[in-house]
Chain A
Amino acid sequence: MLLHDTSIIFGRYVRQTLRSKFQILFGILMPLLYLVFFGPLLTDLPLGSEGTSWQILVPGLLLQLGLFGASFAGFAVIIEKNTGVVERMRVTPVSRLALLLGRVLRDALLFVFQAVLLVLAALVMGLRAPLGGVLIGFAFVAVLSLSLASLSYALAMSVRTPQEFGPVINSVTMPAMLLSGLMLPMALAPNWLDLLSHFIPFRYLVDAVRAGYVGDYASSRMLYGVLMALALAALSVTVGTRRFRKAGA
């Protein structure tokens, strides 16, 4: 039943995305700009002991894509609450978990697709990285998108207007980006900043993808990243499903 329901919801939202081809490509614009206009600045900087600056930057941009893209996924639910689509679905016997999963799997697919485009562009710019690491990077994008989109839908179910929604998301995503070392590795940071960044879950994800991009698979960085990603996903999906079940707003 869960599989059946999830595939119906997933199909509906994949078709919704395919109707707006603009949205599919537009999401990649910001990371692409960073890649083209910021990446070259780093080429000759000593960013870490291992790999090129591209192997540092691209993992950060991939997660930035997930962070900013998926966090705003909830906007669509605010619109759907106003058109009555959410309640129309909630009065059917459809699984509440499927209402969330169908949506977030679509989001994960969308952002992985954008991540593939980004990596292809990065290859042209000069990125060289092991295939295994690149695939691991996509897996992290998928799990991060799924988690953040779940939280975003949960928030969207609790607020009434986009005006309430946007500022909350911005006030979470900007510090998260800066404190997780998405742009430049925290290895460059003074101690206090490095310490602070350890309280930001994304820090562990970006470290793990960077480890993957230099072929360092069996490392503690990878282990912590995987554990943090899975914990984040479990927590987010639980919170999101609860909102679809209860939702009084």
Chain B
Amino acid sequence: MAILSTAGLSRTFQTKQGPVEAVRSIDLTVQPGEILGFLGPNGAGKTTTLRMLTTLLAPTSGAATVAGHDLLTDPEGVRTRTGYVAQSGGTDPNVSVREELVTQGRLYRLKRPAAVARAAELARDLGLDDLLDRPTRALSGGQRRRLDIALGLTHRPELLFLDEPTTGLDPASRADLWDLVRQLRTEHGTTVFLTTHYLDEADALADRIVVVDDGRIVADDTPTALKLRHAGSADASLQDTFLAITGRGPAPEHRIPVAT
């Protein structure tokens, strides 16, 4: 059974310039244990889709079942079984790593001793052991990203959403993070739903790539099949494939406010 399925999921924002359809009727299925790359240019509706699937934003229309719970009628069920790591992270610069980890456990309703034990376990798994007493503002980009992911893994979610997890990281930290994502799947069977606009990242990590553009799914297949179909060869670069699908390159700078 699919761990995530959506039907006609849509979101329209009312703006001063009139309604903006950020996400237009997305139908998507994800199987347990899959690493799904959710790819698209900035402003394509990636973050908006993620925010709906993680209960942060109510869909304008459509339905979804996430980790066995109905998104609209049982958001709390969805929250207990999924994790979300936002692009911005989610730590207070003045709070220590230890306090963030323990508080997160408590927010997932662990008793204090269990939350303390889980914090220690996560710190070990994510290489944060030596940083526990530092305020989060003192962490490097890569360290902070590992903390964000530790927070998202606190309750051992079956499905983890990562929103542009490597944006702003140096190459070594990116490689670490890729290893971590693979490890999550092999060791814990975690399903990972990650958005990215780095094509090499999608190519390296994802079993399947869903390309969104202008709020719609425009392609959905394995990286190899996408390359064959759209760029004519399994050896083509994903860059060429992406250009063929969307008719443009992924714009690195321009953020359309719709997706925030």
Residue numbers of A with Cβ under 8 A of B are: 1, 4-5, 8, 12, 15-16, 19, 80, 82-85, 87-94, 246-248
Residues 18-58 of B at the A interface (beta carbon under 8 Å): 51, 54-58
Smallest CB gap from A248: residue in B: B57
Task: Say whether B89 faces chain A, with CB atoms less than 8 Å apart.
Answer: yes
**Measured between alpha carbons, how far is A93 from B55 in the docked complex, in Å?**
10
A-contacting 9-mer, from B1-9, B78-86, B238-246, B247-255 = B78-86
Across the interface, B92 reaches (CB within 8 A) one of A8, A83, A91, A247, namely A83
Across the interface, A88 reaches (CB within 8 A) one of B13, B90, B94, namely B90
Q: For residue B236, which residues in chain A have a CB less than 8 angstroms away from its CB?
A: none
Across the interface, B106 reaches (CB within 8 A) one of A8, A84, A88, A247, namely A8
In contact, B79 and A92 (Cβ under 8 angstroms): yes
In contact, B93 and A88 (Cβ under 8 angstroms): no
Q: For residue A91, which residues in chain B have a CB less than 8 angstroms away from its CB?
A: 54-56, 79, 82-84
Smallest CB gap from B109: residue in A: A93
Q: For residue B88, which residues in chain A have a CB less than 8 angstroms away from its CB?
A: 82-84, 87
**Measured between alpha carbons, how far is A84 from B93 in the docked complex, in Å?**
11
**Measured between alpha carbons, how far is A90 from B90 in the docked complex, in Å?**
11
In contact, B107 and A8 (Cβ under 8 angstroms): yes
Task: Say whether B221 faces chain A, with CB atoms less than 8 Å apart.
Answer: no
Across the interface, A84 reaches (CB within 8 A) one of B13, B83, B90, namely B90
In contact, B56 and A90 (Cβ under 8 angstroms): yes
**Measured between alpha carbons, how far is A231 from B191 in the docked complex, in Å?**
47
Smallest CB gap from A92: residue in B: B107
Residues 93-111 of B at the A interface (beta carbon under 8 Å): 93-95, 99, 103-104, 106-109
Task: Say whether B212 faces chain A, with CB atoms less than 8 Å apart.
Answer: no
Q: For residue A80, which residues in chain B have a CB less than 8 angstroms away from its CB?
A: 92
In contact, B151 and A88 (Cβ under 8 angstroms): yes
Chain B min CB distance to A58 (Å): 34
Chain B min CB distance to A160 (Å): 9
Smallest CB gap from A81: residue in B: B88
Smallest CB gap from A90: residue in B: B56
Report the interface size class on chain B.
20 to 34
In contact, A4 and B91 (Cβ under 8 angstroms): no
From known contacts A19-B94, A246-B58, infer whether A84 and B108 are also in contact, taking CB-CB under 8 Å.
no
In contact, B94 and A93 (Cβ under 8 angstroms): no
Across the interface, B86 reaches (CB within 8 A) one of A1, A87, A93, A246, namely A87
From known contacts A84-B88, A84-B89, infer whether A94 and B94 are also in contact, taking CB-CB under 8 Å.
no
Task: Say whether B200 faces chain A, with CB atoms less than 8 Å apart.
Answer: no
Q: For residue B79, which residues in chain A have a CB less than 8 angstroms away from its CB?
A: 91-93
In contact, B103 and A16 (Cβ under 8 angstroms): no
From known contacts A83-B89, A83-B91, A84-B89, infer whether A93 and B80 are also in contact, taking CB-CB under 8 Å.
yes
Can you list 24 A-B contacts with CB-CB less than 8 angstroms, sorted by A residue number? A1-B109, A5-B107, A8-B106, A12-B95, A12-B99, A12-B103, A15-B99, A16-B92, A19-B94, A80-B92, A83-B90, A83-B91, A83-B92, A85-B91, A87-B88, A88-B86, A89-B90, A91-B54, A92-B155, A93-B76, A93-B80, A93-B108, A247-B56, A248-B57
Chain A min CB distance to B62 (Å): 16
0 or 1 for each of B173-201: is its CB under 8 Å from A? (1 = yes)? 00000000000000000000000000000
Q: For residue A93, which residues in chain B have a CB less than 8 angstroms away from its CB?
A: 76, 79-80, 107-109
Smallest CB gap from B111: residue in A: A4
Chain B min CB distance to A249 (Å): 10
Smallest CB gap from B260: residue in A: A160
Across the interface, A248 reaches (CB within 8 A) one of B58, B80, B84, namely B58
**Measured between alpha carbons, how far is A91 from B104 in the docked complex, in Å?**
11
**Measured between alpha carbons, how far is A84 from B90 in the docked complex, in Å?**
4
**Measured between alpha carbons, how far is A89 from B80 in the docked complex, in Å?**
12
Chain A min CB distance to B72 (Å): 13
**Measured between alpha carbons, how far is A248 from B12 in the docked complex, in Å?**
11
In contact, A84 and B57 (Cβ under 8 angstroms): no
